[in-house]
Amino acid sequence: MSFTVHGQAVSRGVAIGRAVIVASSRIDVAHYFVKTEQVDVEIERLRGARDVVVEEIERVQLSLNAQGSNDAHPELAALLDVHLMLLQDEQLASGVKHWIVERHYNAEWALTSQLEVIARQFDEMEDPYLRERKADLEQVVERMLRVMRGMASPVAASASPGAEDSSNEVPLVLIAHDLSPADMLQFKQSVFAGFVTDVGGKTSHTAIVARSMDIPAVVGARSASHLIAQDDWVIIDGEAGVVVIDPSPVLLAEYGFKQRQGEVERERLSRLKNTPAVTLDGQKIELLANIEQPEDAVAALKAGAVGVGLFRTEFLFMGRNGKLPDEEEQYRAYRRAVEGMQGLPVTIRTVDVGADKPLDRGALRAGDDHLNPALGLRAIRWSLADPAMFLFQLRAILRAAAHGAVNLLVPMLAHAREIRQTLALVQRAREQLDARGMVYGPVRLGAMIEVPAAALTVPLFLRHFDFLSIGTNDLIQYTLAIDRADEAVSHLYDPVHPAVLQLLAGTIVQCRAQGKSVSVCGEMAGDVTLTRLLIGLGLRSFSMHPSQILAVKQQILRCDTGKLATWAQSVLAAEDPAALMAD
């Protein structure tokens, strides 16, 4: 029987496919399809791994016997028996084979898929002893995965994760309890047509990366990963934040229709790519792209972006087992982004780790595990706490600026002292490059306005910076005291709260009065329901994920800035601005 789970809407579109449940601890397991002729090779890899683990266990049993320790350690002996039994279990073997033969999953993926199926059955057992055997099964699978890691697949080397075998036409959607932004990035080139996670708010970084993948996704769907079983048919409505499990034929037909409509709409929007973003009354609007990786420049250009308004460099620092990128590696990455944009400007933001973008364990610093990480050592605070590391990044950015127009953007500044320290370090980086005789280019310096304290002291920022960029995701989080990553308070996350609008409007007006450029690069910029309001408040530069650019452009083409300015003032003065938004 079909049922529905609700969560936070992340991105437009509908995905219909079979569920692949991935446990958080197994996210790094490779997921790719194998070709028909490689199916036997994968089955053999599994058999080989199982045999190695069986041998390992039998060796331990032998040595226990030899030492006469079986009686001394009866639990250990019994445990080894259970592990051997599980390894030889027919349901495990035949289930794994099914995923490889029928679905063409690679061996590791097939093994973890079947693990999920059997683990559910253990969870439902009445007998607590049997229920606890789930942990044994997980251990056995973990050992097999470890063995397989050591025997590289001959297929994996040639198969890119997205290299779909034409024999496998079933679309797949990924269901997970939680995915960190770095995990999400790993799935960027993957086989999945949609995502659902149990946790996460609408502007959490996991949702932001999901949005950048331009596939339907729902986050904060609470217990979805428990309610959905491996291989269930699932519909993801990324626009409504709805997940339908085991849909009826009627629902399938309805959503299939919606899916096709979405494709037609995309096709229609794609014709706007080369249309200039100009309002009805002739005002030019700048539409920029947010990117996470240098390679995203391709999508930015394809969507008709006139530059990159936000390159979130922290993704270069994540998922690296503690080894942070050095100056050379960063320089090469920034240069790739700059060259990828073919002469259009690239705004490179200095690293913003912390809060819901943690570095992996190995790179954590003492005190990183704070109770309130969003209020802790994040973004510029993290950089200023380690000037040597920060100088690596500043030098790399300055060097990349020799290859094209670069703006350097600093996140989360709040204090005059932080501004002075940051600017002094930028100057130091230049001097160091001079001393080494290295080539670097000019940069425009910008600050993010994403802490209320910054929005209330705009003149200070304008004295020191060439441009400002408003990070509405954090500005809303900090103004309304709502954790953006916590789905439990996401109903309170309100971009049109009067306090937020006052801060936004004040920042835009002051920048314009001084002739300095200002943009919005938070998720508000890509929300078509807010385009008219932002234009009415005087915004002329928007930065968003490439996938949203054309839809926002379509709104802009229908705007009259004069009329919207008058209307925006009434929204600004209203007790309940949301009520006026439909006007």
Positions marked catalytic: 205, 521
**471 counts as binding ligand PEP under rule CB under 6 A:** yes
Distance set, CA 456 to CA 274, 346, 472 (Å): 38, 27, 14
Q: Does 292 bind ligand PEP (CB under 6 A)?
A: no
Q: What is the largest CA-CA distance in the chain?
A: 91
Task: Count Cβ neighbours within 10 Å for each residue of 49-80 and write b for 16 or more, e otherwise.
Answer: bbebbbeebeeebeebeeeeeeeeeeeebeeb
The yes or no reply on residue 483 touching ligand PEP (CB under 6 A) is no
Cβ distance 119 to 91 under 8 Å? no
Q: Does 116 bind Mg ion (CB under 5 A)?
A: no
Rounded to the nearest whole angstrom, what is the least distance from the CB of residue 310 to ligand PEP in the complex? 6
Would the CA dihedral through 361, 363, 366, 367 be positive or negative? negative
Minimum CB separation from ligand PEP for residue 348, in Å?
13
User: Could you say which residues in the range 457-486 bind Mg ion, by CB under 5 A?
Assistant: 471, 474
State in angstroms the smallest separation of the CB of 40 from ligand PEP: 46
182: amino acid identity, one letter: A
Judged by CB under 6 A, the stretch of 228-236, 242-250, 467-475, 499-507 that binds ligand PEP is 467-475
- The window from 298-306, 331-339, 395-403, 472-480 that contacts ligand PEP (CB under 6 A) reads 472-480
Q: What are phi and psi of 51, to 5 degrees?
A: -60, -40
Nearer to ligand PEP, 26 or 545 (CB): 545
Cα–Cα distance for residue pair 335/318, rounded to 1 Å? 19
Instruction: Give the nearest distance from C-beta 383 to ligand PEP in angstroms.
Output: 14
Task: Please state, in angstroms and rounded to a whole number, the distance separating the CA atoms of residues 190 and 188.
Answer: 6
Q: Within positions 207 to 266, which residues make up the interface with ligand PEP, using CB under 6 A?
A: 208
Contact call for residue 474 and ligand PEP (CB under 6 A): yes
The nearer residue to Mg ion, 38 or 479, going by C-beta atoms, is 479
Residue 42 binding result from ligand PEP, Mg ion, none, given CB thresholds of 5 to 8 Å by partner type: none
The residue within the footprint of ligand PEP, chosen from 183, 352, 483, 486 (CB under 6 A), is 352
User: Between 111 and 410, whose beta carbon lies closer to Mg ion?
Assistant: 410
9 has which bridge partners?
A: 218
For residue 521, the partner it binds in Mg ion, ligand PEP, none, with Cβ less than 5 to 8 A by kind, is ligand PEP
C-alpha span between 353 and 348 (Å, rounded): 14
Residues 436-465 that bind ligand PEP (CB under 6 A): 450
Three state DSSP letters for 328-360: HHHHHHHHHHHHHCCCCCEEEECCCCECCECCC
| Alpha-carbon 250 to chain mean position | 33
Contact of 99 with 110, CB cutoff 8 Å: yes
- Which does residue 147 touch among Mg ion, ligand PEP, none (CB within 5 to 8 A, set by kind)? none
# residues near ligand PEP by CB under 6 A: 11
Closest CB 521 distance from ligand PEP, rounded Å: 5
- Judge whether 118 and 231 are in contact, CB under 8 Å: no
Cα–Cα distance between 26 and 224 in angstroms, integer?
17
Q: How far is CA 449 from CA 327, 462, 467, 517, 576, in A?
A: 27, 11, 10, 13, 24
User: What character string, x for contact with Mg ion (CB under 5 A) and - otherwise, covers 422-461?
Assistant: ----------------------------x-----------
First to last CA, the chain: 41
Task: Check residue 243 and report its DSSP letter.
Answer: E
Binding mask 142-161 for ligand PEP (x = CB under 6 A): --------------------
530 binds, among Mg ion, ligand PEP, none (CB under 5 to 8 A by kind): none
Choose from Mg ion, ligand PEP, none: what does 472 bind? Cβ within 5-8 Å by kind.
ligand PEP
Both tokens assigned to 250 = 């009627």
**Rounded-to-integer distance, Cα 3 and Cα 231, Å:** 15
- The closest alpha carbon to 81, from 133, 24, 10, 138, belongs to 133
Q: In degrees rounded to 5, what are phi and psi of residue 543?
A: -125, 130
- Tell whether residue 472 is a contact of ligand PEP (CB under 6 A): yes
> What minimum distance in Å lies between the beta carbon of 355 and ligand PEP?
8
Give me the least distance between CB of 251 and ligand PEP, in Å please: 34
Closest CB 290 distance from ligand PEP, rounded Å? 7
Nearer to Mg ion, 148 or 380 (CB): 380
Q: Is 536 in the site for Mg ion (CB under 5 A)?
A: no
473 binds ligand PEP (CB under 6 A): yes
Stretch 496-555 residues interacting with ligand PEP (CB under 6 A): 521-522
- Is the distance from CB of 248 to CB of 238 less than 8 angstroms? no
The answer to whether residue 13 forms part of the interface with ligand PEP (CB under 6 A) is: no
Interacting residue ranges for Mg ion, rule: CB under 5 A = 450, 471, 474
Contact positions vs ligand PEP (CB under 6 A): 208, 310, 312, 352, 450, 471-474, 521-522
